[in-house]
Chain A
Amino acid sequence: MLVNWSYDWIKVVDALNNVVIDDFNYENGIQGPITQKHCVKCIAANQCWFANEKNKKPEAMEYSIEQILNDSKNRIGLYHYNCHCKEIAIPAPRESDIQLICPEGKEAWLFKDKSEWIRALGHEPDEKFLEYLKNKVIENYCLGQYVIRGITKYGVAINVFADVEGRGEKANKIYRVKSGWMVFSNGKLKCNTFIGGWTK
């Protein structure tokens, strides 16, 4: 799709740090040795893909003219002084580049707590709807239809806007769902909440 490739995307790369947010294994999750050594933002963003627009990528630090001209001790960096991170231009991702990480619990929670919402759209809370929603999330993420919600030691949280078509009595209607995800490295997205809200 031409529209996909017309978007400007970047990948955040810290050449001196191999650690990415999805590396958090048992030891790191318990003791936090990674975040004790490195800036949280740099780890959360490392090797992750973002549309190159405000609110769709981690904000760079804004330095004042005085800081740029007068601070000779520190090197100006992307997110902080002496930061090693760089934004590298990449092609807009294709849908086949995206890998969703969906813990079983999130699927069970969707069917348990959000079944009323799903039925109200004319769908059934089943695997078929889940696959449909996942595809919509991938499609709209690739189109840059998302915003960053926050950046913590757990990762970069985003809301992807997914357009869900109504079924049955709700046919011909489009509902714009906010779907919550964590951006993981190299095109991976980890589910926080499949349906987290609605927007016009």
Chain B
Amino acid sequence: MKMFDKVRILVSNPEYENYGVYKDMVGTIVEAHIRFRSFQVAFTDPTPFSEETMYSIKDDIVEYIHVKDMEVVEESDCTDEFIFNDLPNKDIRWYCKVEDGFIKNLRGEKLNKIAYDYDS
């Protein structure tokens, strides 16, 4: 799981629902770094734009989603170089990927202690 991957929401969570994010919605990770163990995810209405449809197109929802609450449905080809350049202050210590059950940074350092327990 990393920047520009498409992700599906796995849970019903009142905090997310308050912002219009519901289980099974699919969005795109739009920021490289993981903050508070969450990625920023954008949910965009797929309705094609036209003069007739534009005002009925739902607004983008851009919210932070905990990595444990989503799964990848389509991987992006985003490179480590691009991710690095998007990190705040280009600080390589920021965690920015989820691989093999671990939240990792570009050095391969792990944040969680126990695989797939993302709060450990």
Residues of A within 8 A of B (CB): 24-26, 29-30, 32, 103-106, 108-109, 113, 116-117, 120, 150, 152-154, 157, 159, 175, 178, 180, 192-193, 195-200
Contact = CB atoms under 8 A, between A and B. Distances in A.
Contacts of A152: 64
B32 A180 contact: no
Given A108-B4, A152-B64, A157-B62, 7 more contacts: A26-B94, A29-B88, A159-B59, A175-B54, A193-B62, A197-B60, A198-B57
B86 A104 contact: yes
The A contact surface, by secondary structure, is mixed
Interface string B43-65: 01000111000110111101010
B95 interface: yes
6 contacts: A26-B88, A117-B49, A120-B49, A120-B54, A192-B40, A193-B62
Nearest to A157: B62
A53 B4 CA distance: 36
Given A193-B60, A196-B60, A197-B57, A105 B42 contact: no
Judged by DSSP, the binding face of B is: loop
A182 to B, nearest CB: 10
Given A113-B28, A120-B49, A30 B60 contact: no
Interface in B49-102: 49-50, 54-55, 57-60, 62, 64, 82, 85-86, 88-89, 91, 93-95
Contacts of B28: 109, 113
Nearest to B85: A104
B57 A105 contact: no
B55 A105 contact: no
Nearest to A200: B55
Contact of A26 (B19, B36, B60, B93): B93
Contacts of B95: 30
Given A105-B32, A193-B42, A199-B55, A30 B50 contact: no
Given A26-B93, A105-B86, A197 B58 contact: yes
